[in-house]
Amino acid sequence: MSHGSLPKNARAAGASSNGDAARQKELAKVVADVVSRRAQGENLPDSVVLAQWPNMRPELQDELAALRDIHRTFLAAQKAGPISMLARHDSDPLAARLPGHPRPDPQRLPSEPIHGYTVIAEASSGGQGAVFRARHEITGKTVAIKVIWGGALTGSRHRARFEREAQIMAGLDHPHIVPILDRGRTADGSMFLVMPFIEGCPLDEHMDGLRSEPEPDVKRALELFVLICRAVAEAHQKGIIHRDLKPTNVLVDRRGEPHILDFGLARIGEDSEIAAARSVTMAGQIVGSLPWASPEQVSPGEHPMDVRSDVYSLGVMLYQALCGVFPYSIAGSIQEVLNNILTVEPAPPGQVRGPFARQIRSGLDAIVLRALAKAPDRRYASAAELGDDLENYLAGRTLDRATLPSRARLWRNWAGAAFVAVVTIAIAGVIAWQQCPPDSRQDLTLPRISNSIGMRLASVPPGSFMMGSPATEAGHDSNEPLHRVTIDHPFLIGVTEVTQREYRLVMGSLPPGQLVQGDNIPVHGVTLENALAFCRELSNREHVTYRLPTGEEWEYACRASANSRAYAWPGTLDTMGWYRGNSNQLPHPVASLTPNIWGLYDMHGGVNEWCRDLSKPFQTSGVSVSTAEGEVDFYNLRGGSFMSPAQQCRSASRSAGQPENRFEDAGLRMVCDETR
């Protein structure tokens, strides 16, 4: 393809001297024309542009170098595939070397010594400078020295960027931001900065290693990003926007700690604690590294660039870390990539095949997609908020309300409104039911809600009941004193025990040792640790709080409030529960027998259900279970199981286990606090 020619008005401007303002305006036109023609596939090397505009050479060299920097980073990001633009040419037009500026020798050392330091070797290099590993001669510490080439002839744009970087980093003090130790000039006038030498690798290489481990753990990746967000938040609090966040600007040391560097493109806000600095960014120029740039960075004017631009870049980095790919294609011409950044909505990370895919729940999807929102006002307002939500996800806490997808918000709002109506009706019905003679009582099935995995939950109203058992009850134990308990809050409880289908949908696989398999078979062989993990994952998936019931809640739901019988109204154990006497000591499908008066199935028998409360000391089979200080805690299991004798399936009966104990007949039933 022909190189063509540049606009006549720009050609005339190159030969004119109508003042700095006119010169800068015409320079911008020349650069814009170069970008446009290259984006359309024209092979237009720097040498041709400079030959046509010798009178603009000093400024034009700087601007063409800036374009090369952008494109070089763009190329470095193309690990997943080739760039179609490059496939059409034998050479890289944007990376063409300037006349008289040979590509740096990877083993080159500074031409002039740096006073006070002994340079050991070059660590990395670029078109405008290099970073050297060196030793501080007084302390003997290993440091990194960043040198910008050119001496006294260094372009004004690069000098300004270098000065800004030194100014900004000198004002930051955070363990995960690389500080400035020293600065100065070499004998030939080249500028340098001295920083601690970080023995480690860029973030993307570190994440490649995590994803390739035999058992990759997404938790480690998220914990690392929390630290990165906290460091970026520190800069934001100082009024500093990094504007060039990308994996190569985050080094991860051998301890797995991140270190953010390269604030050369950072902008200092008007409310900065550091003195304001003059912007040296030319109007219309893309600031930052293209694949990680926010929509407002690549299309300036519609939205202001602020801390939310850094949030977007963090979102791209997090997406890469989780999925190993970018959130949209960066294969093609620069114009095609710009269009993808502006318009293409990324797929949720959990839907992208990769080592972490099965560990990514909808809550994490929501966090990443909020960070990547095209409109800044739909993103997190700061890196601190993004870090907070990542911590919420890791801890199993409810995410920020604005993070929740619309489906979850609708579920939440509908559930709350439903309970306002149904709880009043349910309470009135329970009172009326309690006043009926026992033989005339009818079913009082509670209102129900289904969640996204098809789990049915019944709305239990507040009320009082007699907990425990009378001394005359067969199987009565001394730790079951009869006493009144008041449940002062409504709550949701699973209509059935958690099934294998539900457990598999949330956790990806079943616990070992399933005696019988089937979608409607209650999951068993569940440890308390398994049960708590299920609660966390389901909470993240549904964006509401799921947990195990307390012993009081469980017994209240089992008895259906009022009755103090050994087995819940209206039937006998044989008609309501699978136990040793009728189960052949194997689990059976849930909801295959009669429910209690509230419509809850398998409260007796089925599987032993873990509760969230510690077991108080009591005697069972001659063994004393103690929770004394220094001893292992035991937690309650309620309801008996398909392996239990009848007396262990009573409403008041309980057994106990340690969190890591795997009983082959233990399972779980969900409670949801969304009504509170």
Task: State the pLDDT at residue 21.
Answer: 67
- CATH number at 583 reads 3.90.1580.10
Mean pLDDT of 443-448: 71
Task: Give the pair of three-digit tokens for residue 456.
Answer: 């049915």
Tell whether the model's pLDDT for residue 165 goes beyond 70: no
Q: What is the pLDDT of residues 428-444, one digit of tens each?
A: 444 444 444 444 444 46
Q: Is the pLDDT of residue 608 over 50?
A: yes
pLDDT above 90: residue 191? no
Q: Residue 638: beta bridge partners? A: 609, 654
Q: Does the structure show a pLDDT above 80 at 275?
A: no
- Per-residue pLDDT for 276 more than 60? no
Q: What is the CATH number of the domain that holds 133?
A: 3.30.200.20
For residues 504 and 109, the model is more confident at 504
For range 489-500, the mean pLDDT: 94
Report the C-alpha gap between 225 and 314 in whole angstroms.
9
Between 189 and 625, the more confident residue is 189
> Which DSSP state fits 31?
H
User: Are 665 and 644 in contact, with CB atoms under 8 Å apart?
Assistant: yes
Average model confidence (pLDDT) for the chain?
76
Q: What is the Cα–Cα distance from 27 to 609, expressed in whole angstroms? A: 74
Q: Is 22 helix (H, G, I), strand (E, B) or coil?
A: helix
At residue 409, does pLDDT exceed 50? Answer: no
Q: What is the pLDDT of residue 319?
A: 96
Q: How far apart are CA 609 and CA 558, in angstroms?
A: 12
Mean pLDDT across 176-194: 81
What CA–CA distance (Å, rounded) separates 423 from 675?
Answer: 10
Judge if 495 and 434 occupy the same domain.
Answer: yes
> Looking at the predicted structure, is the pLDDT value of residue 153 above 90?
no
Cα separations in angstroms, 339 against 6, 294, 329, 345? 25, 12, 10, 11
pLDDT interval class at 41 (50, 70, 90): low
Predicted confidence band at 109 (pLDDT cuts at 50, 70, 90)? low
What tens digit of pLDDT does each residue of 349-383 get? Answer: 988 888 998 899 888 999 999 999 999 999 999 99
Going by their DSSP bridges, the two strands 666-667 and 608-614 should be labelled as parallel
Residue 261 banded pLDDT, cuts 50, 70, 90 = confident
For residues 71 and 218, state if they share a domain: no
Q: What is the DSSP string of 362-423?
A: HHHHHHHHHHT-SSGGGS-SSHHHHHHHHHHHHHTPPPPGGGS-HHHHHHHHHHHHHHHHHH
For residues 74 and 337, the answer to whether their CB atoms sit within 8 Å is: yes
What's the pLDDT band for 626 if we cut at 50, 70, 90?
very low
User: By percentage, how much of the chain surpasses pLDDT 70?
Assistant: 70
Domain final residue pick, 403, 437, 464: 403
Average pLDDT, integer, range 445-474:
87
* Unique residue bearing structure tokens 């009378």: 470
409 part of a folded domain: no
Residues 544 and 609 in one domain: yes
| Count of Cβ atoms closer than 10 Å to residue 121 Cβ | 10
Query: Quick one: 579 and 642 in the same domain?
Result: yes
Residues 88 and 174 in one domain: no
Mean pLDDT lowest for which of 35-49, 304-318, 610-624, 659-673? 610-624
Catalytic residue chosen out of the listed positions 46, 69, 204, 244: 244
Q: Are both 399 and 373 inside the same structural domain? A: yes
pLDDT band at 94 (very low <50, low <70, confident <90, very high): very low
Give the highest mean pLDDT range of 189-198, 520-529, 654-663.
Answer: 520-529
Indicate if 282 and 373 belong to the same structural domain: yes
Count of domains forming the chain: 4
Please indicate, yes or no, whether residues 450 and 305 belong to a single structural domain of this protein.
no
Helix (H) or strand (E) holding 348, with range, is none
Answer whether residue 3 is part of any domain.
Answer: no
> 104 lies in a domain?
no
Bridge partner list, 602: none
Q: Are residues 462 and 610 in the same domain?
A: yes
| Residue 408: predicted pLDDT | 46
182 and 133: one domain?
Answer: yes
What CATH number does residue 387 fall under? 1.10.510.10
Q: Which whole-number Å values give the CA distances from 632 to 531, 609, 613, 625, 653, in the listed order?
A: 18, 20, 14, 10, 22
Domain-located, residue 415: no
Q: How far is it, in rounded angstroms, from Cα 627 to Cα 618? A: 10
User: Which pLDDT band, with edges at 50, 70 and 90, does 423 fall under?
Assistant: very low
Residue where the block lists tokens 């049960």: 531
Return the SS3 of 136. Answer: strand
pLDDT at 570: 64
Q: Are residues 191 and 209 in the same domain?
A: no
- Helices 307-323 and 203-211 pack at an angle, to 10 degrees, of 30
Kindly compute the dihedral angle of the four CA atoms of residues 211, 215, 220, 221, in this order, to the nearest 10 degrees. 20
pLDDT of 59 strictly over 60: yes
- Here the tokens at position 509 are 């696989």
| pLDDT band at 558; cut points 50, 70, 90 | very high
Domain range for 86: 8-95
**Structure tokens given for 92:** 């890289």
Has residue 498 been placed in a domain?
yes
Q: Is 593 a member of any domain?
A: yes
Q: pLDDT for 124-141, tens place per residue? A: 765 567 888 899 989 889
Poorest-pLDDT segment among 292-306, 335-349, 462-476, 631-645: 292-306
What SS3 class is residue 240? strand
* Least confident segment among 161-170, 226-235, 248-257, 454-463: 161-170
Asked if the structure places residue 105 within a domain, the reply is no
Residue 547 reports pLDDT greater than 90: yes
Domain-terminating residue out of 142, 177, 196: 196
**Per-residue 3-state assignment (H helix, E strand, C coil) for 443-506:** CCCCCEEECCCCCEEEEECCEEEEECCCCCCCCCCCCCCCEEEEECCCEEEECCCCEHHHHHHH
Judgement on whether residues 207 and 192 belong to the same structural domain of the protein = no
Name the packing angle between helices 57-76 and 156-170 (round to 10°). Answer: 60
Q: Predicted confidence band at 259 (pLDDT cuts at 50, 70, 90)?
A: very high
Backbone angles phi, psi at 471, to 5 degrees: -60, -20
Which of 411, 410, 488 has its CA nearest to residue 455? 411
Are 356 and 339 a contacting pair, CB within 8 Å? Answer: no
- Which residue stretches of 560-616 are H helix? 573-576
Residue 93 and residue 487: Cα distance in Å, rounded? 74
Which residue has better confidence, 417 or 67? 67
* pLDDT-wise least confident of 249-253, 261-265, 508-512, 625-629: 625-629
Mean pLDDT in residue range 597-610? 94
Give the residue from 95, 130, 156 where a domain finishes: 95
Predicted confidence (pLDDT) at residue 339 exceeds the cutoff of 90: no
- Spell out the residues 6+ positions from residue 642 whose beta carbon is closer than 8 angstroms to its own: 578, 579, 580, 583, 585, 586, 587, 588, 605, 606, 607, 665
pLDDT at residue 313, rounded to an integer: 94
Residue 2 has pLDDT above 80, yes or no: no
Q: Per the confidence metrics, is the pTM higher than 0.75?
A: no
| In-domain check, residue 1 | no
Q: Quick one: pLDDT band at residue 493, thresholds 50, 70, 90?
A: very high
Give CA separation, 547 vs 268, 529, 530, 610, 613, in Å. 46, 12, 12, 10, 11
Q: Is the pLDDT of residue 522 over 90?
A: yes
Does the active-site annotation cover 633? no
Q: Give the pLDDT band of residue 311 (cuts 50, 70, 90).
A: very high
